[in-house]
Amino acid sequence: MSSILANALRAQYEKAFATVRGILDTFPDDKWMEPHGDVYYIPSRIAYHLTEFIDGVVGGGFKDPEFRNKLPFGPWHTGTAETLPSRIALISYFEEVISRANNELAAIDDATLASAMPEEMARLGTTRISAHLLTMREISAHTGELNKMLIENGKDDVWVSR
């Protein structure tokens, strides 16, 4: 079975995950729970959403109908500075998620990517590659937001390209 496309996808996820991890490692703790321009844009909230999205789509979480009810810090969209995870707690969750995601990614080949989306994930597209493309867009959107926040805090943005 061919894995040319699957290998390319895994390589891009590796860079995307490393970019997220670099942002998490760099973000100043004293700015982690502070809104950036709007009460919605709390770095912890954005990073938590990004992590739970990866967990659901790439890590296989959406196979479990109770996935959202089992999230370690509750719903990301209603989280507050009191309920959202610390940077260190989120890094721990992120590492667990990436382990699950990498296990799922190791099992795919090109035929898997072309296969029909399971019914429980049909909202993400018609084929499995649809979910991966959507996830890459989601990662890009939120790493952009987090990188802008890093710059606002006097840090360099993080982009892993190799």
Helices (H), the chain: 4-26, 43-57, 87-106, 110-114, 128-152
Provide the whole-model pTM.
0.95
- The total number of structural domains that make up the chain: 1
Report yes or no on 159 lying in a domain: no
100 CB-near residues (< 8 Å, 6+ apart) = 55, 58, 59, 60, 61
- Domain assignment present for residue 124? The answer is yes
pLDDT in tens, 31-76: 999 999 988 999 999 999 999 999 999 999 988 999 999 999 999 9
Q: Is residue 131 part of a domain?
A: yes
- pLDDT at residue number 121: 80
111 assigned to some structural domain: yes
Residue-wise pLDDT tens digits, 95-112: 999 999 999 999 999 999
Domain of 48 in residue numbering reads as 4-152
| % pLDDT > 70, the chain | 100
Query: Residue 162: its pLDDT value, please?
Result: 83
Residue 162 located in a structural domain: no
Eight-state DSSP code of residue 45: H
Query: Domain with 111 in it: what CATH number?
Result: 1.20.120.450
112 falls within a domain: yes
Residues with Cβ < 8 Å from 50, sequence gap 6 or more? Answer: 20, 138, 139, 142, 143, 146
pLDDT at 81: 83
Residue 1 reports pLDDT greater than 80: no
- Structural domain includes residue 13: yes
Q: Is there a domain that residue 86 lies in?
A: yes
Compute the distance between CA of residue 19 and CA of residue 75 in angstroms, rounded to an integer.
24
**pLDDT per residue as tens digits for the range 111-141:** 999 999 888 788 888 999 999 999 999 999 9
The pLDDT of residue 19: 98
